[in-house]
Structure 1
Amino acid sequence: MQQHTPPPNENTAQPPAANTNPAASEETLPDMLAQLVPPPEPAAISLWPATPLAQGLAFLLLAGLLYLAWRWLRRYRANAYRRAAEAELGRIADDPAQIAEILRRTALAAYPRQQVAGLTGARWLEFLNRHYPGNGFQGEAGQLLLLAPYQKIASTTVAELADEAKVWIRQHKSEPHPQKHFRGQMTTGDHSHGASA
């Protein structure tokens, strides 16, 4: 007895044909990189401190910097007369009479008028020596300072006197008073006291 083989059913699922081209099923590296999703942008970092403590410290730091700037500006303005006197001293450093005049005007700018204007002779030299860390106006330099307004003096101590005057202008301990300025021109009254330097 012969077995009857049924005809093949066209609807029967056929196994998929083997892929004879392996390169077609594999994705290339550029293809895979193109499918990557870019990372999200990080949130912008604020420069303002985030915690109350940090904000307080930042405020204190800012206040401290402003205070230091204010102190520096105040001191810079208060010392304007020193810069003016030193600049004028640099222009006439070889004339002892003008050195004496500049020292007198600087002292009038730095101290109350009633404290300085009447000083003459040894009292004037003592005042100069007492208000800066030195005693350079003793001896020959001091005598030159006293005599210079009255006569022309050729002396080798003029350079020493000019140097000491510059040191005094820079380092004297000033006292606060309302009108601190260095006048380029002296009045008649001031000149009479300057001549007594």
Structure 2
Amino acid sequence: MDPTPAPDPMLTATLRQMADIALPPPVSMMPATWGWAVLFAAAVLVLGGFLWRWLRQRARNRYRREALAELSRLEKAIDQPAGRRHALQSLPALLKRTALAAWQRETVASLSGKAWSDFLQAHAGTARIDSETYRFFAEGEYRPAALASTDEARARQRLAAARQWIEAHDVRS
């Protein structure tokens, strides 16, 4: 007996005709229906709208951020008496500049004394500030002698009240 059988001619012919398996094309990541494209476009529009509103709100409140940055510089100078006096003397002017940035010049620029104090109170929004502090905001820059004798705790209270007003004032009212 021969250990290797004779090759079958039919099997040999069939093996020569064989080819590799044909793979299907890769699955597309694009949506197959137009509904998905519409949904994607709507999502992009909604996100774009939110981004536009956020940027507009941020631009509208830029004056608040600048005023708060200046207020932070004043708060750092409050430890020494000379710095305290300068900070307290600068505080009413800072509030006036903040109001001028938010309201029309004709509305704010001419206000002083009681009228300025009433304006600050009327537009305080959610800020909770006592009437003595409002009076200080209205008259503080005109009484520099009183500023020199202000203690640190009172000065910090005035700066905190100014921060509250800047953060919470309501431009719509």
1:61 paired residue among 31, 43, 49: 43
Distance 2:98 2:64 in 1: 7
- State the match for 1:9 in structure 2: none
The answer to whether structure 1 residue 160 and structure 2 residue 154 are counterparts is no
How big is the shift at 1:126?
A: 2.2
RMSD, aligned CA: 2.4
Distance 1:96 1:41 in 2: 78
Please identify the structure whose Cα radius of gyration is greater: 1
1:127 paired residue among 119, 134, 139: 119
2:28 paired residue among 11, 29, 45: 45
- Count of residues in Structure 1 that have an aligned counterpart in Structure 2: 144
| Cα gap change, 1:144 to 1:41, in 2 (>3 Å) | same
| Cα gap change, 1:171 to 1:134, in 2 (>3 Å) | closer
The answer to whether structure 1 residue 83 and structure 2 residue 78 are counterparts is no
Alignment of 1:2-151 (within 5 A): 17=1, 19=3, 37=20, 40=23, 42-46=25-29, 48-93=30-75, 94=78, 95-131=87-123, 132-139=125-132, 141-150=133-142, 151=144
- The structure 1 segments of at least 4 consecutive aligned residues displaced by more than 3 Å after TM superposition are 35-39
Distance 1:115 1:137 in 2: 23
- State the match for 1:5 in structure 2: none
TM-score when normalising by structure 1 = 0.64
Distance 2:21 2:60 in 1: 62
Q: Is the 8 A contact 1:108 1:116 kept in 2?
A: yes
How big is the shift at 1:121?
A: 2.0
Cα deviation 1:110-160 (Å, max 9, x = unaligned) = 011121122222222222122221340512x22322332021411432111
| Cα gap change, 1:144 to 1:106, in 2 (>3 Å) | same
Cα deviation 1:81-133 (Å, max 9, x = unaligned) = 11111111111233212111100000000011121122222222222122221
How big is the shift at 1:57?
A: 1.1
Hey, which of these two has a bigger chunk of helix by percent?
2
Q: More displaced, 84-93 or 141-150?
A: 141-150
